[in-house]
Structure 1
Amino acid sequence: MAFFLQTFGGLRLVDSESNHVAFPEKGLLILVYLLTTPSGSAYRQELATFLWSNEDKAVSLSNLRKTVSRIKTRQNELGAQFLSFTETMIYVDRGSLSSDVLSIDKEGVAEPVSQLMRLTDLLKQSFIGTVNCDSCDFDSWLAERRNHHKRLLKDSLERAAPLARTQAESEVVKDAAILLFRAEPADPDTLRFLVKIFGAEREVEDLRRFFEQRSSSISRGIDALSSAIDKKSAKILAKARAPSSDAGRSGIKAAIPRLVLLPPTNQSSRPDAGLVAASLIEDITIGFCALNSLQVIAPHSAVRIGHDMEDQVAFFENHSVTYVLDTRISSLGDEVTLFAQLIFLPDSEITWAERFGLGHLDLVRDRRVISRRIALSVSSEIERHETTRSYLELNPTAYHRYLVGRPHLNRLTLPNLRRARKEMKAALQASPDFAPALSAMARTYSKEWLLTARGDIDLLKTAETFAAQAMGARADLADGFREFGVAKLLQGAFDESAEAMELAETLGPHYADVIADHADTLVHCSRPAMALQKIERAIELNPLSPDAYLWTAAGAHYALSHFEASLDYISQMEDPSLADRLSAASWAMLDHMDKARFFVRRVREANPAFDVDRWLAAVPTKERWHKDLYREGLKKAGF
């Protein structure tokens, strides 16, 4: 049987039919590490340090011996010998399996543009996904590999760019250029190369036009989705994009929002990082002062109030502060980072968050680049948020009823769903096209489908209809697309669901609930590595995460065979009983049968008629390997 080691988009072993093949995670790391070495071999001590650090060599070597024993057992079961062992060395047999990490280094094999397309498709995905080791050697190796990939991309781009003749080939080159720019946004050589690729005669103008074309992808996505919406809703949606709909909103003149930038707290191990970040925040504040769209509290006042937590609330109220940019410096391994988040005070809502590296910051060159990025990001987010607020203020009665009903959606019980639905109906009586209430109505029906578990397709069709109406009423708000994606997912329309969720996140790039639902969709689409990246982003934006976030993270980890991590997320849930089936399967896959059977009994008590095959048939899952992995855990647990 042929085997393939996938390293981009998650680290896993698959067979010739792309089915997931269980293999020790540390064994997969040894495989990919040795495949990236010239000799294909390493000393045992080197690998022990790579996997477990060198703080205690005896413990690391003991851990390695146990891992080697598990690898040998699993290789014998598979009838394959990927790795061989001596007393001092470990070797990889490159002929025993293929891998994307091997193909990525093969130069001159394919025509340059085709090779660039293949490379771009791989590098859009995270290398080895979320697999990690608490080891400096591992961190150094991972950083070196990522730099190597950037070099490969740049070299391939330089070879392919002069050869692109057709529009399709030019798109491949431009996609690769944008990917390289995202990896090296502050590199002046990369920026010059990007400008060169995007325009021969009118370089900067063509670059600007291309990015504007990319921003219009939202409208193209709406057009693609409209075929799945009934004709009446499609007409409403087209009407919503007409210029006249914007004219009414522009007549509302909202008060200019006020922003305060609090001085950064230093939670890193480097005292000097505080001075760097403080200078950054001053630069950002000065940049904001040049804008007419918002007012900024002067740095002197911000510093004083930043150190006086007890008086902050009163200060914010007395000076009509609507937004706070909160910053902190922390350490991620050896890297020092600045974390910034924008908080809308009236709702205590985190509307934007980003992390910036400070480890190699050149104060003369890089500080203004980062400060400009923060200023532009925060300004655009405030503008988007203020536009939404103006729309809500146009419909005060509907908005009030919507706010009364929305909390009922946070606790998923049928009585709460019906209370929420009652308030949303009242909101729609006051304003029939009030998009937030239409989206919330859709959510009540899709959640009712989940809670009743009767497979009532009418509930999902009703949810889809309300979501389509919300999209038609306001095509620039994320919630309608989000609910449309949920309804389509529960009907098994994976591609339509993923497309709608992509649009929802484009419209609300810092909207934690939308990102979390997008992650859940990706789990059901059998793309757990990407789902995990998104749910971790949602948790960063919403640190006191609801159970749904943690449940999604647990499901993604299970699909990646990270069973201990899955259980860890479940243990953080306020009501972990919601995930009893997943707990039972995870414990079973870890061979803790006593714990697995405990959860089996608890599920049986709550639902005596539970049947694995019938339940899995109802749960939307795109790939067979994913469903088979869940079935294996549940059956092994005793269901």
Structure 2
Amino acid sequence: MFRLRTFGGLELLDEHGHAIPFPAKALVILAYLFSTGRRTATRMEVAELLWGRGTPSVAFTNLRRLISRIRGRQSELNVHFLVFSNHGIELKSSSITCDVSLFGMAEPEGSFDELKVLVDRLRSAFLDKIDLQNSLFDHWLAQQRERQLIALDHAMRLMASLANTADQRAVVQQAALLVFLTGSNDQIAPKFLLQAYEVQGEVELLKRTFERRNEMLASWMKEKQSFPPAKIAARAANVEIINPAELTEHSRPSLPRLALLPPSNYSREPAAAMIVASLLEDITIGFCVLNSVQVLAPYSALQISRKTEDQLAMLEHHGLTYVLETRLSGVDEALSLFTQLVFLPTSEIVWAERLSLDGARFAQNRRDISGRLALSVASEIERHRITRSNFDRNPAAYHRYLLGRRFFDRLTLPNLRRARKEMKAVLQESANFAPALSSLARTYSEEWLLTARGEAVLLKSAEAYALQAIETSSDMADGYRELGVAKLLQGALDESVETLQLAETLSPHYADIIADHADALAHCSRLDTACRTIERAIELNPISPDSYLWTAAGACYGLGRFEAAIGYIDRMADGSLADRLAAASWAMLGHRDKAHVFVTRVRETHPDFDVENWLSIVPIKEKWHKDIYREGLKKAGF
């Protein structure tokens, strides 16, 4: 007795389970007859299935050659699976069985054993990796896979209400997950997954998240009532507070759509791929039972992940607003998964975390890891969606805002002024567009840094726009971020760190805010903490903007790590921003000749640069920290 395996590949097996050589297209004919439940097929039908409808004479010639090979091989095996006549091909099933036969039954018996067999079959795709490169075969194959999925769905629904034991519920769980993983309809199985897994705690988690946020904002408003303008304090009582009791399934508008892209595997661990697969399965369960997000079917996500050139276009085509990217790295006990949630319209990293998987214990704690991950991401999406609501209210302003944001990619005075012009145009469209207000604040503080002339009016403008952004949208982190930067440059160092810490708490994985927090810590002379903080920002945003690297270089310089400082400067796209720092670093290493190159460049741009005047302007908390800057700049020749 022989057996035809059609799921996960296509093989003819003997009674011991060993693969037997047989013409590949002959196996396709067998699979075709078994899957359709038919005994015979015409020669024309089979020829078109195997070679398409292009040139009939060629297809029939190929079929005659194939039949000759099949007859010869069957004679060698002393069996006759297929019998050929002038017009047809007949299946003789007395000496062969097939794993697809169960799907050809007119009416399933409705047992848990049968459901388990269906699940086991569909863990692998029917005729996986078989590609005959003709549309007729592709269409037939897609129909068969859809029919098999419908059979599994039907059996799952039939048995779900009858599951009483743990084993029976486990079979229903696996069936529901497979329907979701392989189905084209994203929402075909979540109800059954919810029943099977009984995932709880989503609403409670969201309640706690927003309660903490509300307490933090209320505390900040109470402490800062003396901030100008006075109307900020007047609005404190009217800050939009999220009512946790309203966080229910019915009160939410249309759900945001999320794609969970399969992880890139940077691990050398051979078993890492299996770990990734099981983790993805559990994370998928977590997402599809939650009511706060709609997750793209994993099959579609896999296809998108394989695209490199037009991936963003595909994501937008599917109406996605968020992508969860994952990267696996390390080996054995050091195995870890880095995850980051990206808001597609602005490429903003909303949330990120590195999870230690500990390969040895992963089997025991994987469900806990994936459940916490799914719930955390869902709550971050909910929080982020509320803060971004003003984008949806004014699409024209949002579009103009995105145009203006492009000019922040490279910090030059012309770019800053172009950005300022665009942001003011945004405010003509929508006077209370908070992101534009905070971006305007950024243009003034960055201009203050680039000109190095100590113009107080620039920082006052930055502070005023930042406070206006907070007034307009008090739960968005951007306004607090810009206020913290303005306070930093004005010399209010402790106040700056406190405000940036609040901004980071509101958006704990927003790399730009973390970088600004690191900069404030560096100016407060807390250099070790600054280095750790800026490295966290760089990890979240590995293709880092120059401002990150500049901050890292400055912190390293203050710690006496001059070579590391130069290393960061060398990574900058426009190293001229840090010419003073490069000159001081080379001078402290004893390379006066290299330092002189940067001194010359600085004097070309700022001929009146004076060390003491500069140190009197730049806010640095501790004297020893100023002294090391003075020493390096003087040694360099300033």
5 Å matches for 1:256-271?
A: 256-271=255-270
Partner residue, 1:637: 636
Structure 1 residues 430, 602: closer, same or farther in 2, change over 3 A?
closer
- How far residue 308 of structure 1 moved from its aligned partner, in angstroms, is 5.7
5 Å matches for 1:340-351?
A: 340-351=339-350
Partner residue, 1:483: 482
Structure 1 residues 332, 485: closer, same or farther in 2, change over 3 A?
farther
> 3-state DSSP class of the match of 1:412?
coil
Matched, 1:582 2:566: no
The size of the alignment, in residue pairs, is: 430
Q: Name the amino acid aligned to 1:448.
A: E
Aligned counterparts of 2:479 and 2:611: Cα–Cα separation in 1: 33
Q: Name the amino acid aligned to 2:462.
A: A
> 3-state DSSP class of the match of 1:573?
coil
Q: Name the amino acid aligned to 2:407.
A: H
Matched, 1:566 2:561: no
Matched, 1:617 2:613: no
- How far residue 360 of structure 1 moved from its aligned partner, in angstroms, is 4.6
Contact 1:329 1:339 in 2 (8 A): yes
Partner residue, 2:593: 594
Aligned counterparts of 1:284 and 1:210: Cα–Cα separation in 2: 21
- How far residue 558 of structure 1 moved from its aligned partner, in angstroms, is 0.9
**What per-residue deviation string (whole Å, max 9, x for no partner) do you get for residues 83-109 of structure 1?**
xxxxxxxxxxxxxxxxxxxxxxxxxxx
5 Å matches for 1:200-599?
A: 216-241=215-240, 255-303=254-302, 305-307=304-306, 309=308, 312=311, 315-331=314-330, 335-599=334-598
Q: What TM-score do you get using the length of structure 2 for normalisation?
A: 0.62
Q: Name the amino acid aligned to 2:371.
A: R
Aligned counterparts of 2:414 and 2:210: Cα–Cα separation in 1: 47
Structure 1 residues 468, 361: closer, same or farther in 2, change over 3 A?
farther
Aligned counterparts of 1:411 and 1:311: Cα–Cα separation in 2: 25
- How far residue 277 of structure 1 moved from its aligned partner, in angstroms, is 2.2
Contact 1:264 1:278 in 2 (8 A): no
Aligned counterparts of 1:464 and 1:599: Cα–Cα separation in 2: 33
Contact 2:481 2:503 in 1 (8 A): yes
Q: Name the amino acid aligned to 2:476.
A: L
Q: Name the amino acid aligned to 1:278.
A: A
Aligned counterparts of 1:474 and 1:551: Cα–Cα separation in 2: 30
- How far residue 213 of structure 1 moved from its aligned partner, in angstroms, is 5.6
Contact 2:438 2:478 in 1 (8 A): yes
Contact 1:282 1:299 in 2 (8 A): no
Partner residue, 1:177: none
Q: Name the amino acid aligned to 1:488.
A: K
Structure 1 residues 448, 310: closer, same or farther in 2, change over 3 A?
closer
**What per-residue deviation string (whole Å, max 9, x for no partner) do you get for residues 558-580 of structure 1?**
11211111110000001111111
Aligned counterparts of 1:551 and 1:309: Cα–Cα separation in 2: 31
Aligned counterparts of 1:460 and 1:309: Cα–Cα separation in 2: 43
**What per-residue deviation string (whole Å, max 9, x for no partner) do you get for residues 100-132 of structure 1?**
xxxxxxxxxxxxxxxxxxxxxxxxxxxxxxxxx
Aligned counterparts of 1:439 and 1:318: Cα–Cα separation in 2: 30
Structure 1 residues 211, 476: closer, same or farther in 2, change over 3 A?
closer
Aligned counterparts of 2:304 and 2:397: Cα–Cα separation in 1: 37
Aligned counterparts of 1:274 and 1:535: Cα–Cα separation in 2: 31
Structure 1 residues 530, 317: closer, same or farther in 2, change over 3 A?
same
- How far residue 252 of structure 1 moved from its aligned partner, in angstroms, is 11
Q: Name the amino acid aligned to 1:324.
A: V
Aligned counterparts of 2:458 and 2:250: Cα–Cα separation in 1: 38
Aligned counterparts of 1:313 and 1:453: Cα–Cα separation in 2: 39
Structure 1 residues 353, 455: closer, same or farther in 2, change over 3 A?
same
- How far residue 311 of structure 1 moved from its aligned partner, in angstroms, is 7.6
Aligned counterparts of 1:575 and 1:210: Cα–Cα separation in 2: 40
Contact 2:218 2:236 in 1 (8 A): no
Structure 1 residues 332, 239: closer, same or farther in 2, change over 3 A?
farther
Bigger Rg, structure 1 or 2? 2
- How far residue 626 of structure 1 moved from its aligned partner, in angstroms, is 0.8
Contact 1:240 1:473 in 2 (8 A): no
Q: What TM-score do you get using the length of structure 1 for normalisation?
A: 0.62
**What per-residue deviation string (whole Å, max 9, x for no partner) do you get for residues 450-493 of structure 1?**
23333222221222111111111111001110111111111100
Aligned counterparts of 2:212 and 2:398: Cα–Cα separation in 1: 34
Aligned counterparts of 2:578 and 2:311: Cα–Cα separation in 1: 40
Aligned counterparts of 2:208 and 2:404: Cα–Cα separation in 1: 43
Q: Name the amino acid aligned to 2:421.
A: K
- How far residue 375 of structure 1 moved from its aligned partner, in angstroms, is 0.8
Gaps of 5+ in 1: 1-204
Q: Name the amino acid aligned to 2:229.
A: D
Aligned counterparts of 1:519 and 1:210: Cα–Cα separation in 2: 25
Q: After alignment, is 416-425 or 628-637 more displaced?
A: 416-425
Aligned counterparts of 1:593 and 1:527: Cα–Cα separation in 2: 29
**What per-residue deviation string (whole Å, max 9, x for no partner) do you get for residues 577-623 of structure 1?**
11111111111222222222222222223323221111111111011
Partner residue, 1:626: 625
- How far residue 240 of structure 1 moved from its aligned partner, in angstroms, is 3.1
- How far residue 404 of structure 1 moved from its aligned partner, in angstroms, is 2.8
**What per-residue deviation string (whole Å, max 9, x for no partner) do you get for residues 273-306 of structure 1?**
2211221111011011111121123334444554
Aligned counterparts of 2:264 and 2:242: Cα–Cα separation in 1: 45
- How far residue 332 of structure 1 moved from its aligned partner, in angstroms, is 8.2
**What per-residue deviation string (whole Å, max 9, x for no partner) do you get for residues 127-160 of structure 1?**
xxxxxxxxxxxxxxxxxxxxxxxxxxxxxxxxxx
Q: Name the amino acid aligned to 2:450.
A: L
Contact 2:266 2:329 in 1 (8 A): yes
Structure 1 residues 242, 364: closer, same or farther in 2, change over 3 A?
closer
- How far residue 349 of structure 1 moved from its aligned partner, in angstroms, is 3.3
Q: Name the amino acid aligned to 1:295.
A: Q
Contact 1:263 1:281 in 2 (8 A): yes
Q: Name the amino acid aligned to 2:466.
A: A
> 3-state DSSP class of the match of 1:289?
helix
Structure 1 residues 417, 210: closer, same or farther in 2, change over 3 A?
closer
Structure 1 residues 355, 548: closer, same or farther in 2, change over 3 A?
same
Aligned counterparts of 1:237 and 1:565: Cα–Cα separation in 2: 45
Contact 2:331 2:359 in 1 (8 A): no
Q: Name the amino acid aligned to 2:370.
A: S
Q: Name the amino acid aligned to 1:234.
A: A
Structure 1 residues 251, 552: closer, same or farther in 2, change over 3 A?
farther
Partner residue, 2:152: none
Partner residue, 1:27: none
Q: Name the amino acid aligned to 1:597.
A: H
Aligned counterparts of 1:267 and 1:470: Cα–Cα separation in 2: 41
- How far residue 361 of structure 1 moved from its aligned partner, in angstroms, is 4.8
Higher relative contact order (CA 8 A, sep 6+): 1
Aligned counterparts of 2:582 and 2:313: Cα–Cα separation in 1: 46
**What per-residue deviation string (whole Å, max 9, x for no partner) do you get for residues 147-193 of structure 1?**
xxxxxxxxxxxxxxxxxxxxxxxxxxxxxxxxxxxxxxxxxxxxxxx
- How far residue 310 of structure 1 moved from its aligned partner, in angstroms, is 6.4
Structure 1 residues 209, 307: closer, same or farther in 2, change over 3 A?
closer
Q: Kindly report structure 1 stretches of 4+ aligned residues shifted beyond 6 Å.
A: 208-211, 250-253
> 3-state DSSP class of the match of 1:325?
strand
Gaps of 5+ in 2: 1-203
Aligned counterparts of 1:539 and 1:262: Cα–Cα separation in 2: 22
Contact 1:254 1:390 in 2 (8 A): no
**What per-residue deviation string (whole Å, max 9, x for no partner) do you get for residues 340-365 of structure 1?**
12223333333222111123552343
Q: Name the amino acid aligned to 1:421.
A: R
